[in-house]
Amino acid sequence: MRYLRTHPIVGWLLSVYAITFLLGVAPSYITPLMVTREFGTEKWLLTMLELAFSGGLLLGGGLMSTVLVRYGRMWLIMVAANGFGVVTVAMGLSTNLWVLYGFMFAFGLLAPLLSTPFTTLIQERVEPGVHGRVFSYVSIVSALATPVSIVVFGPLADLVGVQVLLIIAGLTTIAVMAVAIRLPAGRATVAAARVPEPPRVLGSEPMSQNAMPRSAMPRKSAPKANSDPGMPYPGKGE
């Protein structure tokens, strides 16, 4: 936590990831409840919902490795985060099952647009020695999203309804992102993302003495012979 407090860019990225995951991604776990309540309990209805999301993930991953490579990372993160909010609101307003499937496909399409540039920026801006600790926080956020969604959004869905909850969560995501990008840490992150990271040339890092080859290690000089005339040479008679 001390590292995140002293590195506002990394802290801002993790905060945006956590907020987007909890407000945008987590409510999507209650869409099966919406399908069973509004459209029926047949198994194929839920199967199509999961297939739509998985198809969007596959297409989004393919686009990230081809067409979207040329776009800026912060631009992709902001598009994905705000897109999650818009799609979540649209799912809450959906009254047609196939339209809901289409929005679920778009939801899956946006997921790689957030995770890929986010991971790249973290790898670039965090020192290699603390990669494990920083990515452990990312894993904690990802692991807690599902239980938090069940504990918080499940009872709320019974109180206010799934559709209303999706609309509220989507609008909150958009509002939070609008504020986050105007914070000093948000502006610093945007500026840092525009500066390309200098390429690391293999072998340019200084090697420790243990990693040096034996031929490159400095050799110890032999001890000099004692030139004091007052001391007898070895083997010299008394």
Least confident of 14-18, 111-115, 148-152: 148-152
pLDDT value at position 166? 92
Is pLDDT above 90 for 53? yes
Tens of pLDDT, residues 101-119: 999 999 999 999 999 999 8
Q: Read off the tokens for 27.
A: 């409510």
Q: Confidence band (pLDDT; 50, 70, 90) for 238? A: very low
Question: In angstroms, rounded to a whole number, what is the distance separating the alpha carbons of residues 81 and 84?
Answer: 5
Across the chain, mean pLDDT equals: 80
Q: CB neighbours of 189 closer than 8 A, spacing ≥ 6?
A: 9, 12, 13, 74, 121
pLDDT value at position 203? 44
Q: Are the beta carbons of 156 and 165 closer than 8 angstroms?
A: yes
pTM above 0.85, yes or no: no
Q: For the residues 224-236, what does the mean pLDDT come to? A: 48
Question: In angstroms, rounded to a whole number, what is the distance separating the alpha carbons of residues 187 and 123?
Answer: 19
84 or 205: which leads in pLDDT: 84
User: Closest by alpha carbon to 64, among 108, 123, 98?
Assistant: 108
Q: For the residues 165-171, what does the mean pLDDT come to? A: 91
Percent over 70 (pLDDT), the chain:
80
